[in-house]
């Protein structure tokens, strides 16, 4: 499992983690598309924005390996702002390649992509 050095571990001041420390011994948690409803808490939306900003600052428009990125946090963006790069895509692989869907990410999180350093 690739560890993304320099990637923030969590949203400061919260328990919202962005990376995992080690592979899950019971198996890889699959990436799924989670629905984001309008009534989500403000702190949940802030965590999504900070995570998107960290992804953009770290990878930009280049493909990246899932590695130690948290599956739960990625799943909130997966299928919209973050897309599979591989075909066929294995949602249960730490080596799976992903890419940021920049037009959708800019529409969903304009502040995160305009100045990601504010969120890091």
Number of independent structural domains in the chain:
1
In a domain, 6, yes or no: no
For residue 52, what are the domain limits? 42-118
Is there a domain that residue 106 lies in?
A: yes
Asked whether residue 48 is assigned to any structural domain, the reply reads yes
64's enclosing H/E stretch is strand 64-65
The per-residue pLDDT for 118 is 61
Yes or no: say if 2 and 67 are a contact pair by the CB < 8 Å rule: yes
Query: What per-residue confidence (pLDDT) applies to 25?
Result: 77
Tell how far CA 21 is from the center of its chain. Answer: 15
pLDDT number for residue 87: 87
Tell me the C-alpha to C-alpha distance, in Å, between residue 17 and each of 50, 68, 107. Answer: 11, 11, 24
Residue 77 within any structural domain of the chain: yes
| Buried residues in 82-107 as b, exposed as e (16+ CB within 10 A) | bbbeeeeeebeebebebbbbeeebbe
- Has residue 49 been placed in a domain? yes
Q: Which two tokens stand for residue 113?
A: 């992509």
Domain assignment present for residue 105? The answer is yes
* Start-to-end CA span in the chain (Å): 23
Taking the chain (120 residues) in runs of 10, the rounded mean pLDDT of each run is 88 88 84 90 92 94 94 94 93 94 94 70
Rounded CA gap, 114 and 76, in Å?
A: 20
- Residue 77 has what pLDDT? 95
In a domain, 55, yes or no: yes
Number of H helices, E strands in the chain: 4, 3
Q: Is residue 26 part of a domain?
A: no
């Amino acid at each position: 499992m690739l560890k993304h050095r320099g990637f923030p571990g969590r949203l400061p001041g919260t328990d919202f983690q962005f990376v995992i420390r080690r592979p899950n011994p019971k198996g890889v948690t699959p990436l799924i598309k989670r629905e984001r409803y309008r009534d989500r808490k403000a702190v949940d939306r802030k965590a999504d924005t900070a995570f998107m900003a960290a992804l953009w600052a770290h990878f930009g428009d280049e493909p990246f390996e899932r590695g130690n990125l948290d599956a739960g946090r990625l799943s909130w963006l997966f299928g919209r702002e973050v897309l599979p790069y591989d075909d066929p895509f294995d949602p249960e692989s730490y080596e799976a390649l992903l890419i940021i869907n920049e037009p959708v990410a800019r529409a969903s999180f304009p502040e995160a992509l305009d100045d990601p350093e504010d969120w890091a």
